[in-house]
């Protein structure tokens, strides 16, 4: 059946050491007054770069609104009622994934154009058409679609290079997990996987050595921009989406409420493990071998045994999958067992 219309808003971006010098030529179409929303640490990172750049380009900052804590609906509601945000013409989101998702959803609810200024190469939140929110206790709250991703994202490479190496590695894992977010985008998925396997290891080495190389810049684009593109193109069929979300994204969410896990495991590591599980469930042996070799090189987990407190992981995953239905629980436990066996078989 033909659809009456479909609008697709593609992510756009500027990358470079002087990326902030190009803000005005992009935002000038939307106004001259902006409100900045960002995490406290992120705002400190960009202070010496962003505010002078905005002043030089005659962009007036009505208010800088510090963001703290979890990305919750309560945080979004507080921003929506903020008089400065209501008066502003644009919203600039500064920080990591949770800060960007909070600012993005607030912009969507107030019908303000949103521009992203990520400070860590660990998330594709700027380019996704969905916001991930949490409860106050850190447990998963839900996915909330927005009309479009950021109008434009500014990748200031010197700022991104100040992030911890572990965040960069987690970003590669996060981006890899998003490759499976849309079955219909198989060509895009295969292209990105090949690129990751080709450049990922070199990018990690260069980043650890504080070298802003072409491989690192390419990885920044893959993590922050390309990883979010499947959400822009649309969602998968119900069955595919359920498998992808529980195996990759929700693998972390179901255990995030356990303090011992939340304190010892990063989001990207959980997604990396979930992606391997997905290849086992789909019998994608070639992809599994490629990912396994890549994970081993860069130190990502290849089975539950590689995670902190694996017995807690196993218990929480079993309980969460059983909430779906007994069939899903059985299939998931089988995949976990197969993953453990495969890991032992690999050299």
Which domains, and CATH codes, for the chain?
Answer: 13-164 (3.40.50.1970), 166-345 (1.20.1090.10)
pLDDT digits (tens, 9 = 90+) for 101-119: 999 999 999 999 999 999 9
In this structure, of 63-67, 144-148, 249-253, the range with the lowest mean pLDDT score is 249-253
The pLDDT score that the predictor gives to residue 308 is 67
Q: How confident is the model at residue 252 (pLDDT cuts 50, 70, 90)?
A: low
Write down the mean pLDDT value for the chain: 81
For the cut 60, the answer to whether the pLDDT of residue 183 exceeds it is no
Among residues of the chain, what percentage have pLDDT more than 70? 75
Cβ-contact 256, 140 below 8 angstroms: yes
pTM confidence score: 0.85
Q: How far is it, in rounded angstroms, from Cα 60 to Cα 80?
A: 20
The pLDDT score that the predictor gives to residue 135 is 83
The pLDDT score that the predictor gives to residue 213 is 97
In this structure, of 24-38, 41-55, 238-252, 293-307, the range with the lowest mean pLDDT score is 238-252
**Stretch 163-172: mean pLDDT:** 91
**Stretch 128-151: mean pLDDT:** 86
pLDDT digits (tens, 9 = 90+) for 56-110: 999 999 999 998 778 889 999 999 999 999 999 999 999 999 999 999 999 999 9
The pLDDT score that the predictor gives to residue 271 is 77
Specify the pairing of strand 140-145 against strand 130-134. Answer: antiparallel
Q: How confident is the model at residue 276 (pLDDT cuts 50, 70, 90)?
A: confident
Helices (H), 209-325: 214-224, 229-233, 238-244, 250-253, 259-262, 267-281, 285-298, 310-324
Cβ-contact 117, 172 below 8 angstroms: no
Among residues of the chain, what percentage have pLDDT more than 90? 41
Q: How confident is the model at residue 5 (pLDDT cuts 50, 70, 90)?
A: confident
The pLDDT score that the predictor gives to residue 216 is 96
Q: How far is it, in rounded angstroms, from Cα 95 to Cα 115?
A: 12
DSSP characters for 153-194? Answer: EEEEHHHHTTS-HHHHHHHHHHHHHHTTS-GGGHHHHHHHHH
pLDDT digits (tens, 9 = 90+) for 293-346: 888 888 888 887 787 666 766 676 666 555 555 555 566 667 777 777 777 666
Cβ-contact 135, 89 below 8 angstroms: no
Number of other residues whose CB lies within 10 A of the CB of residue 271: 23
149 φ/ψ sector (left φ>0, alpha ψ -120 to 50, else beta)? beta
The pLDDT score that the predictor gives to residue 323 is 56
Contacts of 269 (CB under 8 A, 6+ apart): 170, 173, 300, 301, 307
Q: Which residue has the higher pLDDT, 239 or 280?
A: 280
Q: Is 288 helix (H, G, I), strand (E, B) or coil?
A: helix
Q: How far is it, in rounded angstroms, from Cα 237 to Cα 138?
A: 29
**Stretch 146-174: mean pLDDT:** 93
Question: What is the DSSP secondary structure assignment for residue 265, as one 8-state letter?
Answer: -
């Amino acid at each position: 059946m033909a659809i009456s219309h479909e609008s697709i808003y593609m992510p756009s971006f500027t990358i470079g050491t002087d990326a902030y010098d190009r803000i005005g030529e992009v935002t000038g179409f939307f106004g001259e007054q902006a409100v900045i929303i960002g995490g406290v640490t992120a705002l400190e990172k960009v202070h010496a770069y962003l505010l002078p750049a905005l002043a030089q380009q005659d962009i007036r900052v009505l208010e800088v609104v510090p963001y703290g804590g979890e990305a919750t609906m309560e945080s979004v509601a507080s921003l929506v009622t903020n008089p400065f945000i209501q008066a502003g013409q644009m919203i600039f989101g500064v920080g990591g994934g949770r800060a960007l998702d909070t600012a993005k959803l607030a912009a969507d609810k107030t019908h303000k154009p949103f521009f992203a200024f990520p400070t860590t190469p660990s998330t594709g939140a700027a380019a996704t058409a969905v916001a991930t929110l949490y409860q106050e206790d850190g447990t998963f709250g839900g996915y909330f679609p927005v009309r479009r991703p950021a109008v434009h994202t500014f990748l200031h490479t010197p700022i991104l290079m100040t992030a911890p190496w572990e965040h960069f590695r987690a970003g590669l894992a996060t981006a890899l997990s998003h490759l499976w977010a849309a079955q219909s985008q198989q060509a895009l998925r295969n292209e990105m996987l090949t690129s990751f396997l080709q450049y990922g290891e070199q990018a990690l080495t260069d980043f650890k050595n504080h070298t802003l190389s072409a491989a690192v810049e390419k990885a920044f684009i893959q993590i922050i921009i390309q990883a979010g593109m499947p959400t822009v193109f649309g969602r998968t069929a119900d069955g595919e989406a359920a498998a992808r979300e529980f195996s990759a994204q929700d693998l972390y969410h179901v255990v995030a409420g356990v303090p011992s896990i939340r304190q010892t495991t990063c989001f990207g590591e959980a997604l990396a493990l979930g992606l391997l599980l997905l290849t086992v469930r789909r019998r994608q042996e070639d992809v599994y071998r490629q990912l396994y070799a890549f994970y081993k090189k860069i130190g990502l987990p290849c089975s539950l045994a590689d995670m902190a407190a694996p017995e807690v992981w196993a218990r929480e995953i079993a309980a969460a999958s059983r909430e779906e239905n007994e069939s899903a629980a059985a299939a998931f436990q089988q995949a976990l067992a197969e993953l453990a066996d495969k890991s032992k078989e690999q050299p």
